A and B are shown apart, each in its own frame.
Chain A
Amino acid sequence: MARAPDPDRDRHGWKWLLSAPALVVLVLAASGPLLIVAVYSFLSPGNMGGVAWEPSLEGWFKVFFSRDIFDPENVSWNTANLTVFWRTVWLSIQTTLICAVLGFPTAWFIATRPPHRRALWLFLITIPFWTNLLIRTFAIQELIRGTGMLNTVLLALHVIDEPLQLLYSNFAILLGMAYVFLPLMVLPLYAAMDKLDFRLVEAGYDLYASRWRVLWHVILPLVKPGFVAGSILVFIPSIGAYVTPRVLGGGRTMMLGNLIALQFGQGRNWPLGAALAMLLLILVTVALVVYLRAVNAEDEEKRHG
């Protein structure tokens, strides 16, 4: 249908006027700078950080490839960067899985409490969610460091003979991320279970299904939207993580966020850093698109089914 001239056109002016102050701040201090990052990724690095205003694809090139110092024509894969990309994606997937495995029973537990108690259990999940991520990461660091509580207890129980070196490893990052992002999985799962029609579960049992079959064929399909939402809410901050890998991974076990920061610090290669940041944005966008598609497919199914 062709759009008729909007009779209310002049009546929409006030809406823009009222939104304008917020939008100006957002464009100046949030959206606008992102466009500048995109531009910077196509410039040449300056001598002391910053950029030289000469167009170049070298920043994007260095994201994936590296050149031999003595023979610039000799190009190979940038294995250091590729290792970081792989670690970032793999740790994020693992984090999402751990959160799902722990989060599902937890959300189920809350959803099956008597209604007046649910708010309290939910509040207990929400408190860590709103407390500072840095402090929670710090708590994990203290717990698993060489002289920390975990090692002290394990030594006292004679489970181990010498302290485990857990800090500054992939495992430490994984533990930290699963710990700080777990509430993001529980909350949407609970929201989905809260709407669950338990008569369907009962019907399953009436038809002689085992608990396992009911869980797999009735409950899981019904709470799938919660799973999808929770997974995206955990996965997105995981691939963009900076604080947790910095504190728990140390200097060598980097994730993409740390690699980006490095280019604006010691690396002094702003175009490469900008290109890496764009790559991270693309990863996040892909994850969001996959999520939106899943949600839309779900809606379609409901409409036709």
Chain B
Amino acid sequence: MARAYDVRRLPGFGAIALLTFVLLYLPILVLVVFSFNAGSSQSEWDGFSLQWYAAAFANQQVQDVSIRSLWLAAVAAGVATALAVPAALATTRVSRFPGQTMIYALINQPLMVPEIVTGIALLICVAWVKVNTGYTGMGYLVAAHTAFCIPFAYLPIRARLETLDPTLERAASDLYASPVQAFRFITLPLLVPGIAAGFMLGFVISLDTVVITEFVKSAGQDTLPTYMLGQLRRIITPEMNAIATLFLALSLVFVTAFFLITRKRG
């Protein structure tokens, strides 16, 4: 039977939507394609080559900043997740309590404030602490990234907690499990997908953070994004495309994993 009138159809919308998808992917696609260019042009194809990847891997500075970025993301996301789990337990599936709104506001605050404002605020504080303690290590970056990752780690954990059936824990207490045992053997195992998702989100966010890092870092503490930002002012070779492509691939792996983990819930 022919459908006479499709109420979901709006003329031209499909075309604009497909154009949007093309526009969304075209710049990234061009970037990736020219990372494999044999020549040094960003617009004329001279044949396939992996030379720019070889150049990127051989570049000592790129190695240093990449390792620093991964290390920082792992530590910040790990700590943020470890802090977000108890906070989520205390604020989800509980009766309302005084100060709850304030806790929400504090946790979500990094999402609301522009990064540039957080960046210069931290710059001011770090400058002050440095003068008074003389400490110039990675601690500042770890603290800044951890605070920034907390809301991103908190949200998936909270979302997972909300779907948990409280009768399971009640059953555990009926069977004489202590609160600690009930948490260890019932709540925690059920919470693992949320915790994994929270960690991954935090990891990607820390890896992407550029403005806060730019203002907090001391000399010699460049991360991959701040290194790239610095390089963008110079003449760019496809080596930068190669670095960006590898970076994209890494993000893609994490985002896909995040989706697969959170989808199983449904």
A residues whose Cβ falls under 8 Å from a Cβ of B: 6, 8, 12, 14-19, 21-23, 25-34, 36-37, 40, 50, 102-103, 105-106, 108-110, 112, 119, 123-128, 130-136, 138-143, 145, 147-149, 151-152, 179, 182-183, 198, 201-202, 205, 211, 215, 236-237, 239-240, 242-243, 246-247, 257, 260-261, 264, 270, 273-274, 277, 280-281, 284, 288
**Contact-size category for B:** 35 or more
Q: Which of B7, B12, B240, B247 contacts A198 (CB 8 A)?
A: B7
B residues whose Cβ falls under 8 Å from a Cβ of A: 5, 7-14, 16-21, 23-28, 30-31, 34, 41-44, 79, 83-84, 86-87, 89-91, 94-95, 97-99, 103, 106-107, 109-110, 112-125, 127, 143-144, 146-148, 150, 154, 204, 207-208, 210-211, 215, 225, 228-229, 232, 236, 240-241, 244, 247-248, 251-252, 254-255, 259, 263
List 6 extra interface pairs beyond A21-B86, A105-B12, CB under 8 A: A6-B98, A21-B87, A108-B10, A142-B241, A242-B114, A242-B116
Which chain A residues border B106 with CB–CB below 8 Å? 23, 26-27, 30-31
Q: Determine if B244 and A22 form an interchain contact, defined as CB atoms under 8 angstroms apart.
A: no
Q: Determine if B8 and A112 form an interchain contact, defined as CB atoms under 8 angstroms apart.
A: yes
Which chain B residues border A106 with CB–CB below 8 Å? 16-17, 20-21
Task: Name B122's closest neighbour in chain A (CB-CB).
Answer: A33
Task: Name A155's closest neighbour in chain B (CB-CB).
Answer: B43
Q: Determine if B116 and A260 form an interchain contact, defined as CB atoms under 8 angstroms apart.
A: yes
Smallest beta-carbon distance B169→chain A, Å: 15
Top 10 A-B pairs, shortest CB-CB distance = A240-B114, A109-B17, A33-B121, A29-B147, A139-B27, A18-B86, A18-B90, A105-B16, A105-B13, A15-B90
A36 to B129, CA, bound (A): 13
Q: Determine if A134 and B122 form an interchain contact, defined as CB atoms under 8 angstroms apart.
A: no
Q: Determine if A130 and B43 form an interchain contact, defined as CB atoms under 8 angstroms apart.
A: no
Task: Name B110's closest neighbour in chain A (CB-CB).
Answer: A30
Q: Determine if A15 and B42 form an interchain contact, defined as CB atoms under 8 angstroms apart.
A: no
Task: Name B236's closest neighbour in chain A (CB-CB).
Answer: A142
Q: Determine if A142 and B30 form an interchain contact, defined as CB atoms under 8 angstroms apart.
A: yes
Given A139-B31, A198-B8, residue A25 in contact with residue B146 (CB < 8 A): yes
Given A179-B23, A261-B120, residue A201 in contact with residue B7 (CB < 8 A): yes
25 examples of A-B residue contacts, CB within 8 angstroms? A18-B87, A19-B91, A22-B107, A22-B154, A25-B79, A29-B122, A30-B109, A30-B110, A34-B118, A103-B20, A105-B16, A105-B20, A106-B16, A106-B17, A106-B20, A108-B13, A110-B17, A128-B24, A130-B204, A134-B208, A134-B210, A179-B24, A240-B115, A246-B229, A261-B215
Given A25-B150, A136-B27, A143-B27, residue A32 in contact with residue B125 (CB < 8 A): yes
Q: Determine if B208 and A132 form an interchain contact, defined as CB atoms under 8 angstroms apart.
A: yes
Task: Name B12's closest neighbour in chain A (CB-CB).
Answer: A105
Smallest beta-carbon distance A300→chain B, Å: 21
Q: Determine if B143 and A28 form an interchain contact, defined as CB atoms under 8 angstroms apart.
A: yes
Task: Name A219's closest neighbour in chain B (CB-CB).
Answer: B10
Q: Which of A18, A50, A147, A152 contacts B89 (CB 8 A)?
A: A18
A215 to B13, CA, bound (A): 12
Given A260-B117, A273-B120, residue A22 in contact with residue B251 (CB < 8 A): no
Given A29-B143, A138-B244, A142-B236, residue A182 in contact with residue B20 (CB < 8 A): yes
Q: Determine if A34 and B13 form an interchain contact, defined as CB atoms under 8 angstroms apart.
A: no
Smallest beta-carbon distance B255→chain A, Å: 4
Q: Determine if A22 and B17 form an interchain contact, defined as CB atoms under 8 angstroms apart.
A: no
Which chain B residues border A139 with CB–CB below 8 Å? 27-28, 30-31, 244
A240 to B113, CA, bound (A): 9
Q: Determine if B123 and A135 form an interchain contact, defined as CB atoms under 8 angstroms apart.
A: no
Q: Which of B8, B34, B251 contacts A131 (CB 8 A)?
A: B251
Given A8-B97, A240-B116, A284-B112, residue A126 in contact with residue B20 (CB < 8 A): no
Q: Which of A14, A19, A102, A201 contacts B16 (CB 8 A)?
A: A102
A198 to B147, CA, bound (A): 43
